[in-house]
């Protein structure tokens, strides 16, 4: 039995290792290319690590390109989208989870329906709607579009977190003297922090890496987000891979920081001990 068990554990670990290597290899390559000096980029052939590393690409991107602007725009758009969506989705998800109201079924159906269309189909109509409002070529327009597209899924996500919190808790709070809203804010919301963190993270990364709408709605560099900015390293005759990869590595930083910040909540089971153990 033990030999068999050890074998199965080893096989399990190896499978995980293979998966992690497969998933992380592109990131590794990104890093590798970004630190490879231009001279070696095409001359060395395919090597796992360049014989000499340098930060020249990073320096160039930070000092001589519009990348800092893209970066700032992306931060503003993704951050606002994540916050707005999470607030809306928390309220809507709570209503979905706790209240019975007329038309609930139809609202859910409608929300599901919005998730079924390929985004490409919607680009032209959305452009048509936003342009007379002066919302093309503006960060506000992007935030509105991203919010609209992310709210349905985020609502379902938040609803499932609220569903996991026993109803007894807010009933107890209401008997203790709270209104339903106070019970929501003081009792339920603190227990949903893992869910809120997950939603924030999900929406933030979705907005951070969105290219299609950003590309279609924004022209010029002032309001471009960084995925669009990355494309500016592709010129007519060549692609500046080193600088592009350096920009890519820097673009990873906020996402990593963000997940570091929220991972405490993601793994925590805050509801433990609420009801009988």
CB of 187 to other proteins, least distance (A): 6
| Residue number, 192 or 243, with CB nearest to other proteins | 192
| Residue number, 38 or 271, with CB nearest to other proteins | 271
Which DSSP state fits 274?
A: S
Cα→Cα distances 69→113, 215, 217, 220, 227, Å = 36, 16, 17, 12, 12
DSSP string, 11-56: HHHHHHHHHHHHHHHHHHHHHHHHTS-HHHHTTS-S-SS-SS---H
What's the CA gap between 75 and 179, in Å, rounded?
Answer: 37
CB of 265 to other proteins, least distance (A): 12
| Residue number, 77 or 187, with CB nearest to other proteins | 187
CB of 264 to other proteins, least distance (A): 14
CB of 173 to other proteins, least distance (A): 7
Phi, psi of 22 (to 5 degrees): -65, -45
| Residue number, 123 or 270, with CB nearest to other proteins | 270
| Residue number, 44 or 168, with CB nearest to other proteins | 168
CB of 79 to other proteins, least distance (A): 26
Across 123-231, where does the E strand assignment appear? Answer: none
Per CB under 8 A, residues contacting other proteins are 166, 168-169, 171-179, 182, 187, 190-191, 270-277
């Amino acid at each position: 039995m033990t030999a068999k068990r050890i074998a199965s554990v080893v096989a399990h670990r190896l499978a995980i290792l293979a998966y992690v290597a497969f998933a992380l290899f592109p990131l590794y390559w990104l890093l590798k290319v970004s630190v490879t000096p231009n001279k070696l980029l095409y001359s060395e052939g395919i090597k796992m690590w360049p014989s000499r590393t340098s930060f020249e690409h990073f320096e160039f991107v930070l000092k001589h390109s519009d990348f800092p602007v893209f970066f700032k725009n992306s931060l503003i758009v993704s951050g606002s989208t994540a916050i707005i969506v999470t607030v809306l989705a928390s309220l809507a998800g709570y209503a979905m989870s706790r209240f019975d109201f007329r038309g609930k079924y139809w609202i859910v159906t409608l929300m599901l329906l919005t998730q079924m269309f390929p985004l490409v189909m919607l680009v032209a109509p959305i452009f048509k709607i936003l342009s007379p409002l002066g919302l093309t070529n503006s960060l506000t327009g992007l935030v509105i579009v991203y919010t609209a597209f992310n709210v349905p899924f985020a609502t379902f996500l938040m609803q499932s977190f609220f569903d996991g919190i026993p109803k007894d808790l807010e009933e107890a709070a209401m008997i203790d003297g709270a209104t339903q809203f106070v019970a929501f804010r003081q009792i339920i919301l603190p227990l949903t922090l893992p869910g809120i963190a997950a939603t924030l993270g999900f929406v933030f990364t979705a907005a951070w890496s969105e290219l299609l709408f950003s590309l279609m709605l924004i022209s010029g560099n002032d309001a471009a987000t960084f995925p669009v900015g990355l494309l500016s390293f592709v010129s007519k005759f060549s692609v500046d891979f080193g600088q592009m990869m350096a920009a890519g590595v820097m673009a990873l930083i906020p996402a990593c920081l963000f997940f570091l910040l929220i991972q405490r909540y993601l793994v925590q089971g805050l509801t433990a001990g609420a009801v009988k153990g």
